[in-house]
Structure 1
Amino acid sequence: MKNKQDDRRDNVDKIQYNINKTIQNCELAEEMIRKTDDEKMKKTLTEKNERREEALNSMKREIEDEARDKKNGYK
């Protein structure tokens, strides 16, 4: 059985897509927070957005590492 070669050339694009979707989800959650009177939902959405912010920071560091790593073939 032949091992699949690790092709990371599109990692930056994939990470950027995930960053964009996460930002979009944060914005949608913020909109829901503003519109709802349900305190439990507000708390849940606020907590989710806090986790999303942490994930965004990690993804941004990862995209920088990937973009710097020339052996990945990213242009």
Structure 2
Amino acid sequence: MSKPDDRSNNAQRIQNAKSNTVGNIQETEDYLDEHADEISGEETSQLERKNARRRQAVQGFEEEIADETEFAQDES
């Protein structure tokens, strides 16, 4: 038998993931600012692409948070 769908903390879990991702974006930007002259163009490009994917993930997290908030309000 499957576990019941417990979505009570989904919005908070997603918010935590979003916060972590935003932190990773900032850390990468700081790294690039500090070490731009020490790293290859390829590595810089890879890190910039990774941050672009992270920004897309943040947008997805925001949509999921809105969905979960709406679900929680409907359940009340």
TM-score, normalized by length of structure 1? 0.87
Residue 27 of structure 1 is matched in structure 2 by 26
How far residue 47 of structure 1 moved from its aligned partner, in angstroms, is 0.4
Residue 61 of structure 1 is matched in structure 2 by 63
How far residue 13 of structure 1 moved from its aligned partner, in angstroms, is 0.4
1:40 and 2:42 correspond: yes
- Name structure 1 gaps, 5 residues minimum: none
**Secondary structure, counterpart of 1:45 in structure 2:** helix
Classify 1:62/1:51 alpha carbon distance in 2 versus 1 (closer, same or farther; 3 Å). same
- Name structure 2 gaps, 5 residues minimum: none
Identity of aligned residues (%): 29
**Secondary structure, counterpart of 2:6 in structure 1:** coil
Structure showing greater relative contact order (alpha-carbon pairs closer than 8 Å, 6 or more residues apart): 2
TM-score, normalized by length of structure 2? 0.86
Count of matched residue pairs: 72
1:5 and 2:4 correspond: yes
How far residue 3 of structure 1 moved from its aligned partner, in angstroms, is 1.8
Q: CA RMSD in A?
A: 1.4
How far residue 71 of structure 1 moved from its aligned partner, in angstroms, is 4.6
1:11-39 CA-to-partner distances (Å, cap 9, x unmatched) read 00000000000000000000111122212
